[in-house]
Structure formats: structure tokens, C-alpha cells
Amino acid sequence: MAGSRDRHVPLRRCVMCRASLPKAELVRLVRADDGRYQLDAARRAGGRGTWVCRACAEDPAEKRLKQTFRGQAAHVRTLLALAIRGADPAAAPAPLDPRTGTEA
């Protein structure tokens, strides 16, 4: 068919492994006004998102996670685990303030 076109599939790049994958195969995180990462399950929050592929989200190697997310690596690990399990992101514990080490 001359007028037939394939549907466009938007691609995004994983911040950890740099693989380009369809949006549906990635987990999106956004930074809130206070600078902490939050899970964007609907993939509709404003601003630039941070995309992580499921392979990196399930990877037990902490080195790459710490390099990418620095002081928020433990909080991001919790968010990614919740996203993989399909749990409610509101159930995540509050992240620790990197300056004081207390819950913010």
C-alpha cells in the first residue's frame, strides 16, 4: 500500500547504560522542586525526565547507580524497585536529606 505508514515509536535513552529504547520499556523519574527524585508512573509530569531501563533498574550493581544519582542513589533504588513491582510510589519512604542525614 502506498499510503501505509508504520506507527512512530518514541525512543528515550537510559541514563545508566545509554541504550535507546521505546518509552514503554523505561521507568521515568522526575526531580521535584526540592531536588529529590520522584517516580512518574504516568510519564506526564512536567520538566525533563530521567529515564532508566528495566535491566538497569533490576541490576544489583550499586556502582553505576551511585555514579548516576550520587547522594540520592538509595532513594532512587527504592523508587525503581517500586516501579518494577508496580507498587504505589506514595508507599516509598521519605528520602534522607544528604546534608543532615535525617528524613526531610
Three-state SS string over the chain comes to: CCCCCCCCCCEEECCCCCCEEEHHHEEEEEECCCCCEEECCCCCCCCCCEEEEHHHHHCCCHHHHHHHHHHHHHHHHHHHHHHHHCCCHHHCCCCECCCCCCEC
Q: Which CATH homologous superfamily contains domain 11-91?
A: YlxR-like (3.30.1230.10)
> What percentage of the chain carries pLDDT values higher than 70?
79
Query: Does residue 104 register a pLDDT over 90?
Result: no
Say which residue, 64 or 4, is predicted with more confidence: 64
Mean per-residue pLDDT, 17-30: 94
27 vs 14: CA distance, rounded Å? 9
Query: Does residue 45 register a pLDDT over 80?
Result: yes
pLDDT of residue 20: 97
Q: State pLDDT tens for residues 56-97.
A: 998 877 888 999 998 899 999 999 999 988 765 555 555 555
User: Can you give the residue ranges of every domain in the chain?
Assistant: 11-91
